[in-house]
Amino acid sequence: MDESAEAKNDHIGILNLQGGIVEHQDHMMRLGVACVPVRRKQDLVGLAGLIIPGGESTCLGRLIRNAGLDREICEAYEEGLQLWGTCAGAILLAQHVNNDAPHLGLIDITISRNAFGSQLASFHEEIRIPELAAESIPLTFIRAPKITKVGSDVTALGRIDDCIIAAETENILVTVFHPELTSSLAFHRHFAHKCGLTTDCDGKSSLIDPHWSPYSWTRQYQQR
């Protein structure tokens, strides 16, 4: 084990192979939650949680296998690691994927890829989830999948019409949209709490960050 791995206690990891990585990191920074990139099995040591970001599920699944992280993520989950999959990440965590083979298969949901349509069918929506925030939460859907069924141990957190768009168990959160592409910190705070971490927004009535913009993530490159 290297020294960097030992230093990550109570950090949240973001799988850094493909997809929306820096946007998640920016949201966690706004919450005052430390996070680190995960590329190797050593990077999983000491983490409180792991975010599997959106991207392209087939490509991301192959990269995880090639890096030898599929088995390591499953083992870390069995040892208590909290997991959050957004969009493609939700597909990778699902036990049942319509017209495809499952990848990690850790949460009892059935999911359909690209079920809302192509890239041109991307859209924004707002819903209320009182358990997460007092105000409406903005959502961004990009080639989004749909959760069509959940198991008895899975709680549906949000719906649009007859479609489940967010669900969770005690140790796993899945969202078919991209909360990292909006001004709301609600889902990121919720995941931090699932990981047993406190945030700078605890106790605040609003989780909408007025200083966020679609280009906020670029500050990470400007600070290098």
Write out the H or E segment, with its range, that includes residue 61.
Answer: helix 57-66
Give catalytic status of residue 74 as yes or no.
no
Evaluate whether 207 touches 189 at the Cβ level (below 8 Å).
Answer: yes
Q: Among the options 24, 27, 178, 188, which is catalytic?
A: 178
94-97 and 137-141: which strand pairing?
Answer: unpaired
Q: Which one is catalytic: 11, 27, 87, 103?
A: 87
3-state secondary structure of 76: helix
Residue 87 designated active-site:
yes
* Measured distance CA(90)–CA(173) in Å, rounded: 8
| Residue 196 burial class via C-beta count within 10 angstroms: exposed 0-12, middle 13-18, buried 19 and up | exposed
Active site residue 211: no
Strands 107-112 and 123-127: unpaired
Considering the candidates 24, 168, 180, 195, report the single residue annotated as catalytic. 180
- 137 token code pair: 């939460």
- List, by residue number, the catalytic residues: 87, 178, 180
